[in-house]
A and B are shown apart, each in its own frame.
Chain A
Amino acid sequence: MLRVATAGSVDDGKSTLIGRLLHDSKSLMADEIGTAADLARLTDGLRAEREQGITIDVAYRHFATPRRRFVLHDCPGHAQYTRNMATGASTADIALVLVDARRGMTEQSRRHLAIAALLGVPGVTVLVNKMDLVGYEEERFDAVVREVIDWSARLGLQDVAFIPVSALHGDNVVERSSAMPWYGGESLLEHLEAAPAGNGAADGPARLPIQYVIRNGDERWYAGRLAGGTLEIGDELLVLPSGTRTRVRAFEHGGDTAAAPRSIAVALTDELDVGRGDLLARPAEAPEPVRELSATVCWLGDEPARPGARYLIKHTTRSVPAKLDAIEHRLDVTTLEHEPADELELNALGRVRFRLGHELVPDPYDQLRATGAFIVVDETTNDTVGAGMVA
C-alpha cells in the first residue's frame, strides 16, 4: 500500500490530474463518472466546495491497480494551504508536487517542496504539468527541472524524480506519451507502482510506546503499536522515562518477534509499574528523557502561538503540560530565511522551545517520524493548534 500526498494549486491542474489518474486506471465507478469536464470535480466532497468551486479539506481517495493499493491524500492549494499540506504529508510515503510548465517554479511550488522536506516525506516527485501548452518541448521541461533542483538542494531533498505530463490529455499519467519521445522514463502510475513504501521504521531502533494495559486475571499485557524496529522474546528493555529494566516474556499474537508498524501486546518478565505513556526501548539505543523540547512547529490554530502560553503536548501516547518558552525564528518557506517573530500565526512555520511539565522521551524527527512528532493542544478549546517536529 502506498500513501501519496498531492500538492498543487487549482491552476496547476491538480484536480484534473487526480481525476485523470483515477479515470484512466479504471478506478472510478460508473456512478462517480460525470462528463469529462467533471474530472476536476471528483474530489470535491462537500456542498460548499461544489457551490464555491473550491476545495476545503484534505480528501482521502482510494484506488488500486492489479499491482498495488493506493491512498491519495489530496491537499487543497487554497487558503490554509500549509495546514492542509502538513496534514496530508504527515502520513505520506511519497509527495507529488505539480508545477505548471509555462510558469515554472512559483512561490507556491517552493512552499510545497519545503513542506514536503520539513515533514520528512520519504519520496518527492515533481510533475511538470501542462506540457501540451508548451508544445511538449524538452527544453522547457529541462528548464523547470533545473529550477526545482536548485531549490531542492537548498532544502536538503535528495533523489527528486521528475515526470513531464499533461493531466488534461493524459500524457504520461497512466500510459507513456507518444508526444514526448525524448522522455524515456516511466508514466506516473508506473512510477507509483514501483515506488518504495513504508518509511523503513522496522529497520531502526525498537520503540514501543505503551498505549493501554490489558488485564487478564493476574496477567498484564502491555499493548501498543511498534513505532520503530523489531522486538524479540528475551530482549532486554528499558522502561522510559523511569529507567527500570525488564525483558520481553511473550507476544500475545504468539510469535517470537514483532516488527514496526504492527500493533502488539507484550508480557514482561518482571512485575513493574508500567502504564500508558511509558516507552520501551533497548538499553543501548534508548533515547534520553527531556524536560525541554526544541522543535519546528507548523501552527494550525486561529489564535497565534505566543511565548508564555500554556498548552498540552501529545507525543506518542504521552500527554504533558507545556509552556512555550521562546520563538527562535519564523521560517519563510518561500525563501528559507529566518525572521525574528513575536508570535506564530495560523499556517506559519517556525523554530520554538517548549518547557515541559513532565518528561518526554523523543527522537529527532529526521531519524524517526513516529517518535519525533507531536501535536499541540489548546486545553481551553480542546483544539489541535500545532504540529511539531523535534529538532
Chain B
Amino acid sequence: MDHLEQLEAEAIHIIREVAAELEKPVLLFSGGKDSIVLLHLARKAFRPGDIPFPVMHVDTGHNFPEVIDFRDRVVPDVLVASVQESIDRGRVRDEPSRNQLQTTTLLDAISEHGFDAAFGGARRDEERSRAKERVFSFRDDFGQWDPRRQRPELWDLYNGRVRRGEHVRVFPLSNWTELDVWEYIRVEALELPPIYFAHSRPVFERDGMLYAVSDFLPLRDGEEPFEESVRYRTVGDMTCTGAVRSRAATFDAVVAEIAATRITERGETRADDRVSEAAMEDRKRVGYF
C-alpha cells in the first residue's frame, strides 16, 4: 500500500468507529479542500449504502460566494448553522471578523441537535497545538478542550465514550499533510471550488496579505484595490483568508507550487492565526473547530 492508501484505510476506519459507537454524529463541512476529502471518505466508508449522519456547515455569512454555490450543489441536503442567526438572536455581538463567533454558533448547534460527535477536517501538520491533539478529542459539556487531560490513544483503539451533553471532535485526517490532501484529490478526481485555482479578482493589501475586495471588508484609508491573478490555499471567511499571487490555473500547477512553497498554509493565508503564538490553542480550548 502506498501512503495515500494507508491514510485512506486509517480515515475510513475512524469514520466507521464513530458511526458504530456514537449515537448522533455530524460531519462539519466548510467547502474547503480538507472537508471535501473528509466527505468523500465518509461516502466511501459506507458504500454501497448512504452516510448514516448529517453534514453541517457553520455559515458566517462572510463566505466566498463560489464556495456557497459549490456547497449547495455538492451537498444539497446540508444543515446550515448560521452565525447571522446567532447575532440576530443576541447570542453574540457582530464583529468585523466573524471567525471567533463561529464557536458559539457551532456549540449551540451541537447542543440543539444533540450531536455527540462532530467530524472535522483538521490536520496535525497545520499548527503546533493541533500536532498534540488526539484523533478522538474529548469535549466537556461546555465544549472545552483540555490539552493536559486528553485520553491516551493507543494502536487504533479509540475511546469515544461520552456522557449526555459532552461530545467528541473526531479528526480522520489527523495524519494527512497539505500535500497528501492535494494528491488524494487528484487520485480520486475530486471537484474543488474554483477559488483554489488562479483567477483574476480585485484585491487589496493589508498587513502583508492580499484580501478580496468585498462588502464584508471595508477599505481603510490608503488601501487601493487592484486586479491580480490569485488563488486561495485555504478557504475561510473572506474577512480573514488571504490569497496568494499565482498563475497556477491547473491542478498540476497548483501542486507544484505547494510542493515548492516554504511557508505553511496557515502562516501564509490566515489572519486568525497571526494574532499570537497560541491563537489556535486559545480558540480550540473554548470549542473552536
Contacts and interface: CB of A to CB of B under 8 A. Distances in A.
A263 B16 contact: yes
A44 interface: yes
B264 to A, nearest CB: 5
Specify which of A47, A224, A317 lies most central, judged by the most chain B CB atoms within 10 Å of its CB.
A47
A50 B49 CA distance: 47
A370 B10 CA distance: 13
Contact of B49 (A31, A69, A216, A379): A216
Contact of B1 (A29, A31, A61, A262): A262
B100 interface: no
A57 B281 contact: no
B5 interface: yes
Given A29-B264, A61-B131, A252-B47, A86 B154 contact: yes
A58 B150 CA distance: 11
B45 interface: yes
Interface residues of A, number: 60
Contact of B16 (A62, A87, A211): A211
B152 interface: yes
Contacts of A90: 154-155
B159 A261 contact: no
B281 A46 contact: yes
Contacts of A375: 154-155, 157, 159
Interface string B253-289: 0000000011110011000000001100110000000
A252 B12 CA distance: 14
A64 B157 contact: no
Contacts, number: 157
B1 A261 contact: yes
A255 B154 CA distance: 31
Interface stretch (A165-173, A327-335, A382-390): A382-390
Contact of A373 (B129, B157, B268): B157
A263 B13 contact: yes
Interface string B127-169: 0111110000000000000011011111111010111000000
Contacts of A58: 132
Contacts of A32: 264, 267
Contacts of B277: 47, 50
Contact of A211 (B8, B13, B267): B13
Given A29-B262, A59-B132, A69-B3, A383 B49 contact: no
Interface of B: 1, 3, 5-10, 12-13, 16-17, 19-20, 45-49, 124-125, 128-132, 147-148, 150-157, 159, 161-163, 174-175, 177, 179-180, 261-264, 267-268, 277-278, 281-282
State the 7 A-B residue pairs at the shortest beta-carbon distance, nearest first: A31-B267, A1-B3, A45-B128, A263-B12, A90-B154, A382-B161, A214-B49
6 contacts: A57-B147, A90-B154, A90-B155, A215-B49, A252-B48, A387-B152
Given A32-B267, A215-B49, A252-B47, 18 more contacts: A1-B3, A31-B264, A43-B128, A46-B281, A57-B132, A61-B131, A90-B155, A91-B155, A212-B16, A212-B46, A221-B48, A225-B12, A225-B156, A373-B154, A374-B157, A377-B159, A384-B154, A384-B159
